[in-house]
Amino acid sequence: MVKQSGRIVTGAHYGLRDWMAQRVTAVLMAVYILLLAIIVWTVAPQDYAAWASIFNNQWMRIATFLFFACLFWHAWVGVRNVLMDYVKPAITRLVLQILVIISLLVYLVWTAEILWS
């Protein structure tokens, strides 16, 4: 058996935490989509005002924000795994990972701005 003495800065996270994050975020997103489908089916919004009234409820804004937070976290785990598998130079991989993190955080802030403006 070969033991690894140290990890590279952009190395793998070995594990269960990422696997669990992917599954939990997927379940939460599926629940939100089911909830939204039921609301759209029952309310049947036909115009902007009807859609806006759905998202005027604070609980719907929070659920939508949670959905997007889960989406971005789910995307981060997937993109990070792809970068670790296919981008071999450590500095390039680190720069790409930082760019992805910054982009996802900007998207999350933008989502909050849209929902609460």
Q: How far apart are CA 91 and CA 88, in angstroms?
A: 9
Q: What tens digit of pLDDT does each residue of 48-69 get? A: 999 999 999 999 999 999 999 9
pLDDT at 15: 75
CA geometry: angle at 55 spanning 75 and 24, to 5°?
A: 30
Domain boundaries, the chain: 16-115
Query: What are 10's two structure tokens?
Result: 């952009």
Class of the CATH domain delimited by 16-115: mainly alpha
| Residue type (1 letter), 39 | I
pTM across the whole model:
0.83
Cβ(61)–Cβ(67) under 8 Å? no
**pLDDT recorded at residue 70:** 98
